Amino acid sequence: MSLLTYQIHEVAPYINWVYFFHAWGFQPRFATIANIQGCDSCRALWLANMPVGDRAKAAEAMQLHKEAGRMLAGLEGKVEVRVVFRLCQANADGDDLLIEGMRFPLLRQQTVHAAGEPFLCLSDFIRPAAQGIPDQIGLFAASVSGCDEAGYADDPYRHLLVQTLADRLAEAGTEKMHEYVRREAWGYAPDEHLSIADLLAERFQGIRPAVGYPSLPDQSVNFLLNALLDMSQVGITLTEHGAMYPHASVCGLMMAHPQARYFSVGKIGEDQLADYARRRGLPVEVMRKFLAANLSYR
């Protein structure tokens, strides 16, 4: 178990501005303004190179990014990103993971797709228990502390701005932590030297599926992760439905397999719902609520 604390200036370079701008209704092309730092003439050229029909929206994006930068500077020293991670012995048992003696059920794709494509489950990227050789998996949780959104309750714009920045900071802290884990703590990629752009494009070995991602859609597994990680160490508490508080939090798994990749579980049928509920040790109707978005019918 390891705890890391980052200041804003340490994680700000790892912010994925595409998702920040997406939260504000901007398409990815407008996020390229974030690649221009400290050069007013460069910003003006960026704006001038936009299609005429996009310039009004681009000007809004430019102003939004400028105000986000000001807010980040104002939060420096007041806000921290805290991350806890743990490297555990693990093996796969069918569609389940066995992590330090805990059974961690997962879902496998059922939706028919391109001919010859396998129906994936995250357990496919961990060595099967039947081989008798232990494998490893990483667990993580990250949260932003000191970001008092209530302080902007009377200013809807600044409230949304600090909220969306906090979300990005939590993800940025996770990105920085994962880089450290790959190169040093786990050390399976000691010679990795990637630019921030390459990191954000996920050009590294392994994957980091977070709870709520399409390959790990069941929010109830937050309870399993909490039992293994003790998320309270980074200020995270869980509601009775498994949602994390504060909102600017993220948790999930880290897998090192060279062929590991992201995928979407997609829609599942009643048979898989029942099987998954059995493996989770919870009533089918409880799991139905957690997996409502993945059910082929309700």
Residue 120 lies in a domain: no
d(CA 5, CA 80): 7
pTM for this structure?
Answer: 0.91
pLDDT tens digit sequence for 191-247: 999 999 999 999 999 999 999 999 999 999 999 999 999 999 999 999 999 999 999
Residue 271 lies in a domain: no
Task: Give how many domains the chain has, as a whole number.
Answer: 1
pLDDT tens digit sequence for 207-219: 999 999 999 999 9
What pLDDT is stored for residue 39 in this prediction?
Answer: 77
Specify the CATH number for the domain of residue 210.
3.40.109
Sheet strands (E) in the chain = 2-7, 80-93, 96-99, 102-105, 135-145, 237-238, 244-245, 249-254
pLDDT tens digit sequence for 98-133: 999 999 999 999 877 777 788 999 999 999 999 999
Residue 291 lies in a domain: no
Residue 196 lies in a domain: yes
d(CA 50, CA 132): 58
What pLDDT is stored for residue 154 in this prediction?
Answer: 81
d(CA 82, CA 5): 5
Closest CA to 170 of 234, 232, 250, 247: 250
Residue 41 lies in a domain: yes
Both structure tokens of 168: 């990005």
pLDDT tens digit sequence for 8-42: 999 999 999 999 999 999 999 989 999 887 778 88
pLDDT tens digit sequence for 62-86: 999 999 999 999 999 999 999 999 9
What pLDDT is stored for residue 204 in this prediction?
Answer: 96
Residue 94 lies in a domain: no
